[in-house]
Amino acid sequence: MCEFITLIAPTSDHSEVTALMSQHGRRAERVTNPSVEAVLKDGESQYVTTNGHCDCGTVLGSVREGRDTAEADFAKEVSRLKRKGWSDTKISRALGDRERANERSGDKGPDSFELWNAILTDFRDALNLPYVGLMVRMYSGNVESEVFEFTRHRVAKNIPMEKALGFIRPDEVTIFQIR
């Protein structure tokens, strides 16, 4: 059994997705798992992003508890800062900076929060995509043929990216609204 990260992108330009992921030292191999294909929206494609044997030890989903509480806490903090007259840009920057400082660690795995944040930023800037989904799954068989159920979760826009990346749940497509 190995863990794999897959990307859900709302684009039919597979060569652009592959090129962008390659720039970040990852791959983007298009896969068509029937379980995932059955629930993809029109225009979405699934890609395995693993650049080695597997993604075991990924930072994605490394914070196993507290997503709902953290999202509620961030919503309260955003509300508090808005009452103080802060702009959305200033709030996002301040909360993002705070989370980046809190998330830094010496652990070395196959990836990092900074890597995935850069990838998502490039999907927004280079490919002009409105959102991207990431899914982490521990597969016991073939990535393209294993049958399973999963859910979709849209990350609240004001949640800092690094925090949201840590809260990805297994077998859940986490949608990041990047535009």
What average pLDDT score do residues 70-97 get?
75
Instruction: Compare 76 and 149 and report the one with higher pLDDT.
Output: 149
pTM, 2 dp: 0.76
Query: Cβ of 57: how many Cβ atoms within 10 Å?
Result: 12
Instruction: Compare 130 and 39 and report the one with higher pLDDT.
Output: 130
Instruction: Compare 27 and 94 and report the one with higher pLDDT.
Output: 27
Yes or no: say if 113 and 165 are a contact pair by the CB < 8 Å rule. Answer: yes
Highest mean pLDDT (candidates 13-22, 46-55, 96-105): 13-22
Q: Which helix (H) or strand (E) holds 5?
A: strand 2-9
Yes or no: say if 7 and 134 are a contact pair by the CB < 8 Å rule. Answer: yes
Cα 127 to Cα 93: distance, rounded to the nearest angstrom: 23
pLDDT of 81 strictly over 80: no
CB-based contacts of 167, cutoff 8 Å, min separation 6: 61, 63, 66, 67, 70, 174
pLDDT of 66 strictly over 90: no
* Whole-number pLDDT of residue 108: 56
What average pLDDT score do residues 13-41 get?
93
Q: Where are the domains of the chain?
A: 2-177
